[in-house]
Structure 1
Amino acid sequence: MGSIETQIAKGKRRRKLLAIVMTLGAVTLAVVYALWMFFTKGYSLTVLPAEAARTQQFAVQSGNALFIDNKLYVIGSNAAITVSAQKFRAASLTVNDASPSNIEVELQPLPATLNITTAPVARDIVWSVNGETVARAERLQTTLEPGNYTITARHPAYETASVRIDADIAAQIEQTLTLTPVRGEIQIDSSPQGASVTVNGKAAGQTPLSLDREGGEYTVTVEKTGYQVVSDTIALTASQRDPQRNYHLQPLQATVTVNATPAGGALLVNGTPVTSPVSIDADTAAQFRYAKPGYLSESRTLNLGPGETQTLSFALKKEMGSVRIEASEQASVEVNGQPQGNTPLTLSLQALPTDIVVRKPGYRQVQQSVTPSQDSTKIVRVELLREFDARRREGKPLFVSGLGIQMIRVKPKAFTMGSPDNDSDRKSNEHQVDVDFSRPFWVSAHEITEAQYNASLGKAGGSTLPVTGVSWEQAAVFANWLSEKEGLLPFYVIRQGRVAGVKPSARGYRLPTEAEWEFIARLNRRAAPTRYVWGTQETLRDKQGNFADESVKGTQTFYLRGYNDGFAALAPVGSFKAERGGFYDLDGNAREWVHDRYTITPPDSERRYSDYLGAQRGDSHVVKGASYKTGRLKNIRASVRNGESTPAEDIGFRIARYDR
C-alpha cells in the first residue's frame, strides 16, 4: 500500500513539473515571437524581367538576415544581398531602414558571344557591326547585347561579304563567312617592249602583257638584256581591279672612278654635281668636268659599255690674273694680310676672292675684295680720305681716332657777341663785337676727358670726368698732338713747349674761339640769341646742368638755393641733357679755355670781324661758361667771360677745327 501511494505521489509531481515546463516554454515562445516581431523587418523582392524571375536566386552577403522564398527578413539596421538568375548579370544591393517594403530588382541580360571566321582564311579583314568598324583581324571575336546585327567583312582581295546575326541572351554564336575572291586584269608594259615578266617567281610572258588574276598582291619582275632589272609589287583589289604599269627600263650602267687634284673641287657629269665613283648610262656619251675656284677647269667625255669600269684623272692648273692697284695718295698695299709694296702697283694673283688693303698714316684705310681673272686686268682705284673727311662724307658723327671724341659740324652766321648795354647783369668786359665766319667749323660735343688727355701723355686709363687743372698751353699742345696723330697740319706753332703763334689756314685741331663758343651757346639752332645756353627763362629746372647747388651749402658763400643737380663736384661728361645743338656741359660742369687772349680793351665797334681770333696781345686767355662752383645765376649767362693765366680745378676745355 505504501508502495502504491508512493508511486501515485511521484506521478503527481511529474505531471505538475511537466505542466510548469510547458507553461514556461509557451511563455518563452511568446517572448521570442514578440521580440522577433519587434526587431525584425520584412521586405518583398520582385525580380524583373519575368524571364529572370523564373530562375531567381537570393543570397545574403552580410548583416543579420534570411530569405524565405522571395521574402527578406532583416534583424538590425541593414543587410547586403545579391540577386541572380540564369543568363542575367547578378545585382548587388543594400537593404536598410530607408528601403521600401516592396523592392523591384531589374537584372540585365548577359551578352551573346560572337566568333566569326572566314573561308578562305584571310589576314587584315576589316570587320564592321551595323556599319561601324570594330576590328581589323583574321577573325571577329566580340560580345553583343541581345538584338539583331549585320556583320560585314571587307578585304582588298575579296568581295565584300555580310551576314545577319540574331543575338539572344548569353548565346554562343559560331559563324563562318564565305569570301569570294576579286578578279581582274593586270596590264604590264615596258619601254622598250619585249621584256620578260615573272609574277611571283613564275614566267608570265613578255611586255605588253595582260594577266587575269584573283585579288591579292603580286611580286613582278621585268627583265631585258642590256637594261636594269625592275622589281615591283602590284595589288589587285576590289577598288583597283585593273592595275596598269608601264616601266621605263634604264640601260645598264658603267662605273667611273675619278682622281682629281687639288682636292675639294666640284665634279659634274653632264652638268649635274656627283661624287666619285660615278655610275653612268652605258653606250651613252657622258661629259665629266672638274672645277675649283682659283684653277682652270678641265673636261673629259667618256662612252662606256654596260658594266665597264674606268679611272679618270684631273690635275688642274692655277688660274692667275693681273690686278693693278692705284690710290689718290701713295700708300702701302697688303694682299690677304701680306705686304706687297706701294701704289701704283701691278700684281699677278690667283683667281680667288682676294682682300686688298690700302693704308697710309693719317688716312682711313680702304679695303676692297677682288677676284682676279686671266681674261683681263682688274683695276682697283682707291681714294684715301682722312678719317675726319671720311666720316663727314658719310654723314656720320665725327669721332677722332680711337679716343671717342665726337665732333659736331656747325654752319655759323654773322651775329653780335657780348651782352647789350641794357643788360643789368652785364660786366664791363662783355664787349659787343660784330663777327662773321667765312667757313663752317667743328666743335667737340663734350669737354675733353681725363682718359682722352692721358692718351696724349702716353698714359693708360683715366676717368670720363672732364680734365681740369691744365693750362691753356697744355690744352693747345693736346690739340697739336691730336692733329699730328691724324696727319693734319697743326694749328699752333709751338717752340720749346710754348705757343709762339698760329697758322690760321691750318685744319688741325685747336681750341674754339670765343666767337665760336658764344655762337654755339647762344645762337646755333636758335631763332635769336639767348641769354643762357638753355634759353631766356630766369629759372633753373633740376638737373639743368652741374652748378653749385644745395649740396655745397655751408662750404661756399654763393649757391643756387633750392637747386639740385645730383653732383657736388665734377660730373662725368654727358651726365646732363645736351643743348639744342647737341653740345653737352656748355653751361656747367667745368669752365672752358677758348683760343682768344683776354683783354678788357674793347675792339673797334665800327668793324665787323671775320673769323675773329680775339686780341693779338694779352698775358691771359679767355675762359667761358660756368662750373660746378658757380653759385649765382647771372654768372651762368653765355656772354660771361673771364681772363685766367693759370690752371684751376674747375677749368677744362673742348676742341675745334675748321671744316675746310
Structure 2
Amino acid sequence: MDDAVKGCCAVSRNAGEPAPASAPAAAPSVAGERSNAIFIPGGRSHVGMDNPVIPLDGEGPARSVKLNDYRLEAQTVTIGRFADFVAATGYVSEAERFGWSAVFAGLLPAETEVTGNAPSTPWWVRIDGASWRQPEGPGSSIDDRLDHPVTQVSHADALAFAEWVGGRLPSEAEWERAAHGGVRGRKFAWGNDEPDDETIFCNIWQGTFPHTNTMADGYMGTAPARSFEPNEGGFYNMAGNVWEWTADPYRIRSLSRHAKKRNADAVAANERLLKGGSFLCHISYCYRYRIAARMALTPDSAASNVGFRVAYDA
C-alpha cells in the first residue's frame, strides 16, 4: 500500500502487484439461498443530490433514472453465509491468494506484526494472513461474529457469492433507491437527522478519529448485519458498518477538468464504486455515510470495512 492508492476510509492494493491465480468457480450444482430479499417496484427514481456535500466525488446534481423491478437483500452478506459458500464451492478469496490484506490498526493487538502501511493514512496497515477467515490476521477469529458482515472480500469475491445465490450486485441507482425510498433530497437512510457522538443511528466513529473511539454505538469494528433500526423499506445498515461493493464502475458525471482526470485514473485502475460508509466514518474525516456519498477501490482490494449485499432481477 502507498499514498498513490490511498482511499478516504479504505485503501486500494498497489497498482502493478502481480495478481494471484484465478479462484475456482462456484459449483453451480450446489446453489446458495437468498436471504430476505425485498421487492422494489421499478419506475422513475434518482441518484445523487442537488446540493452535494462533496462535489468532487460526483455526488450531484441529482439525476433521474428508470429502474426495472428488482429485489435487494435486507442486510449485507454475513460471515456465516460466506463460510457456507466457501464450504459448498471450495472458493478461495483474493485476499487469501494475495497472502495479505488491509486492516484498520485500531482493531489490532499491540504485538501484531505489521508489514506495511499507507504513509498519509497510517491507521491502514498491511497484515500478512488477513482474510475473511482471519479479518485481523493470524490469531483473530470469526467464531463470535458469524452474524456480522463478511469483510476482507474483493469485488470478484462478492460477484462469485452473488452468482452462487442466483443474484448479482446492485447498481448505484438500485442501492440508493433502497436507501432513500424514493424521497428526493433525503440525506440518510433514516431521514435527515444528523448523527453525532451522542445521537446514534448507525455504526460510525464516535470521538476523535483515529485516536479515540468512545464506542457510544457499542462497537469498535463491525456490528451484526441486523443492528440498529432498518429504514422504512426494511433495509439494515445502509449507513456505516461496512462499505458495500456495487456493480458499477466509479465514474464522475461532470465535464470539469477534475472529473476528466479522475475518470481517466478510475478507468486505468478499473476502479469500482462502493456505497454506504463504514464504522470508520466521522463527519470530521469521512462524511460519507450519507446516501449520495461514494467511494472507489480497485476491484482486487479488500479491507476491514468492506462488504456487500446481493440484488436480484425480479
Q: TM-score range by the shorter chain?
A: 0.5 to 0.7
Structure 1 segments unaligned to the other structure (5+ residues)? 1-360, 364-399, 484-508, 604-614
Listed as ranges, the matches of 1:304-343 within 5 Å are none
Aligned to 1:588: 240
Are 2:107 and 1:451 aligned? no
Q: 1:556 corresponds to which letter in structure 2?
A: P
Say whether the 8 Å CA contact 1:417–1:518 is kept in structure 2: yes
Structure 1 residue 433: Cα displacement? 3.1
Change beyond 3 A, Cα 1:617–1:515: farther
Listed as ranges, the matches of 1:277-288 within 5 Å are none
Structure 2 segments unaligned to the other structure (5+ residues)? 1-28, 89-132, 134-141, 256-265
Aligned to 1:624: 275
Aligned to 1:642: 295
Aligned to 1:479: 162
Listed as ranges, the matches of 1:283-302 within 5 Å are none
Equivalent residue for 1:549, pick from 206, 210, 224: 206
Matches of 1:518 and 1:577, distance apart in 2: 18
Q: 1:531 corresponds to which letter in structure 2?
A: K
**Greater RCO (CA < 8 Å, at least 6 residues apart):** 2
Listed as ranges, the matches of 1:138-287 within 5 Å are none
Per-residue CA deviations over 1:511-570 (Å, capped at 9, x if unaligned) read 01100001111234x4x44011121223446441110123xx4x60697xx882011111
TM-align CA RMSD: 3.0
Matches of 1:414 and 1:557, distance apart in 2: 44
Structure 1 residue 362: Cα displacement? 9.2
Matches of 2:267 and 2:43, distance apart in 1: 23
Per-residue CA deviations over 1:64-109 (Å, capped at 9, x if unaligned) read xxxxxxxxxxxxxxxxxxxxxxxxxxxxxxxxxxxxxxxxxxxxxx
Matches of 1:423 and 1:409, distance apart in 2: 29
Q: 1:406 corresponds to which letter in structure 2?
A: N
Worse-matched range after superposition: 590-599 or 405-414: 405-414
Q: 1:632 corresponds to which letter in structure 2?
A: I
List, as ranges, runs of 4+ consecutive aligned residues in structure 1 with deviation greater than 4 Å. 459-462, 615-618
Are 2:147 and 1:464 aligned? yes
Q: 2:304 corresponds to which letter in structure 1?
A: E
Matches of 1:455 and 1:477, distance apart in 2: 13
Change beyond 3 A, Cα 1:657–1:618: farther
Aligned to 2:225: 573
Q: Secondary structure at the match of 1:454?
A: helix
Q: Secondary structure at the match of 2:165?
A: helix
Matches of 2:309 and 2:63, distance apart in 1: 23
Say whether the 8 Å CA contact 1:412–1:519 is kept in structure 2: no
Structure 1 residue 618: Cα displacement? 6.4
Aligned to 2:21: none
- Structure with the largest fraction of helix: 2
Say whether the 8 Å CA contact 2:153–2:302 is kept in structure 1: yes
Are 2:77 and 1:419 aligned? no
Highest CA radius of gyration, 1 or 2?
1
Matches of 1:442 and 1:588, distance apart in 2: 21
Matches of 1:626 and 1:405, distance apart in 2: 22
Matches of 2:170 and 2:52, distance apart in 1: 25
Q: 2:44 corresponds to which letter in structure 1?
A: A
Q: Identity percentage over the alignment?
A: 26
Aligned to 2:194: 538
Matches of 2:153 and 2:229, distance apart in 1: 26
Q: Secondary structure at the match of 1:648?
A: coil
Per-residue CA deviations over 1:171-224 (Å, capped at 9, x if unaligned) read xxxxxxxxxxxxxxxxxxxxxxxxxxxxxxxxxxxxxxxxxxxxxxxxxxxxxx
Q: 2:48 corresponds to which letter in structure 1?
A: G
Say whether the 8 Å CA contact 2:57–2:293 is kept in structure 1: no
Matches of 1:569 and 1:537, distance apart in 2: 23
Say whether the 8 Å CA contact 2:149–2:242 is kept in structure 1: yes
Q: Secondary structure at the match of 1:458?
A: helix
How many corresponding residue pairs?
216
Aligned to 2:58: 429
Matches of 1:602 and 1:424, distance apart in 2: 16
Q: Secondary structure at the match of 2:75?
A: coil
Are 2:303 and 1:654 aligned? no
Change beyond 3 A, Cα 1:453–1:418: same
Q: Secondary structure at the match of 1:434?
A: strand
Say whether the 8 Å CA contact 1:558–1:631 is kept in structure 2: no
Change beyond 3 A, Cα 1:434–1:557: farther
Q: 1:655 corresponds to which letter in structure 2?
A: V
Structure 1 residue 588: Cα displacement? 1.2
Structure 1 residue 655: Cα displacement? 0.2
Structure 1 residue 638: Cα displacement? 0.7
Matches of 1:616 and 1:480, distance apart in 2: 25
Matches of 1:424 and 1:465, distance apart in 2: 30
Say whether the 8 Å CA contact 1:543–1:566 is kept in structure 2: no
Listed as ranges, the matches of 1:35-50 within 5 Å are none
Per-residue CA deviations over 1:558-589 (Å, capped at 9, x if unaligned) read 97xx8820111111111211111100011011
Change beyond 3 A, Cα 1:547–1:616: same
Aligned to 1:517: 175
Matches of 1:424 and 1:619, distance apart in 2: 25
Q: Secondary structure at the match of 1:447?
A: coil
Change beyond 3 A, Cα 1:510–1:532: same
Change beyond 3 A, Cα 1:436–1:566: same
Are 2:69 and 1:440 aligned? yes
